[in-house]
Structure 1
């Protein structure tokens, strides 16, 4: 049984260090990528506060296909270049969006989402997935969040 918990006032740097430590323990020795994505999505949900969606989209040809997640039902397919997730995939770059309503072409799967952080998972120079975090709070994410999820994406690249 896994029991990962943090005090609500844990500083972000410590929070993401702990997230990475827990993630490493969860995926260690597990070869199934879907199982690893499911556990990582759940871990993000448990350890990163103020989210209304956390999960993966997998890269399949020139589109993203919904992977394991926690939150409300979501869009199943997103073309590269469309919305925040598609921008992260096509540019192979983190997208930190303080106000999703100001992002041209934003795809609203949950009307409650106000800010978003999407980090590409890159293996051998190719985007194989993205990690998508949504929050009902505007300006929820900052560079510390981006750095923490980018470190998680680097770990995910080796186990999904």
Structure 2
């Protein structure tokens, strides 16, 4: 098991992901506990990519329930179709929000969050959990984040 991540300074966002995702895959390989794996993934993303907040919400009894995360305290439960996470769950698709204040019905768990990317993971063709990544910078997320975080979610799906 790795004790630290190796991320080169002064590299592009894509290069950071290219370095980080294989390390995350190695970190979760051989570990069967979902909570432990999600906790390590959240930490690796937060510190490897220097995000403001990273966490998972699991679908439980028709709600998203807060799971492992890194960052300030967060909303505990989110209804389907509500906020960015609930909308991603309802639509079953990745959502990038350049300015959370402009997203209709945004749930402000932290006023410091400015932009967000939310991605679903599927089990048996149903959304099973959501990855929520926040930045304290406007317009932080782009197609590079989408591409690599969607690759990461395919790894997460194998853990479900």
Instruction: Provide the C-alpha distance between the structure 2 equivalents of 1:9 and 1:106, rounded to a whole number of angstroms.
Output: 33
Asked if residue 151 in structure 1 is aligned to residue 145 in structure 2, the reply is: no
Aligned to 1:103: 103
Asked if residue 29 in structure 1 is aligned to residue 30 in structure 2, the reply is: yes
**TM-aligned CA deviation for residue 124 of structure 1:** 2.4
**SS of alignment partner, residue 8 of structure 2:** coil
**TM-aligned CA deviation for residue 5 of structure 1:** 2.7
Instruction: Provide the C-alpha distance between the structure 2 equivalents of 1:3 and 1:32, rounded to a whole number of angstroms.
Output: 20
Return structure 1 stretches of 4+ with deviation > 6 angstroms: none
TM-score (norm 1): 0.95
Q: Which has the higher contact order (CA 8 A, sep 6+)?
A: 1
Instruction: String of CA shifts for 1:113-156, please: whole Å, max 9, x gaps.
Output: 10000010112211110110001100000010011111111100
CA contact (8 A) 2:8 2:16 kept: no
Aligned to 1:66: 66
**SS of alignment partner, residue 105 of structure 2:** coil
Instruction: Provide the C-alpha distance between the structure 2 equivalents of 1:17 and 1:123, rounded to a whole number of angstroms.
Output: 25
For structure 1, the 5+ residue unaligned runs are: none
For structure 2, the 5+ residue unaligned runs are: none
**TM-aligned CA deviation for residue 7 of structure 1:** 2.7
Instruction: Provide the C-alpha distance between the structure 2 equivalents of 1:52 and 1:145, rounded to a whole number of angstroms.
Output: 14
**TM-aligned CA deviation for residue 38 of structure 1:** 0.3
Q: How many equivalent pairs are there?
A: 159
Asked if residue 93 in structure 1 is aligned to residue 93 in structure 2, the reply is: yes
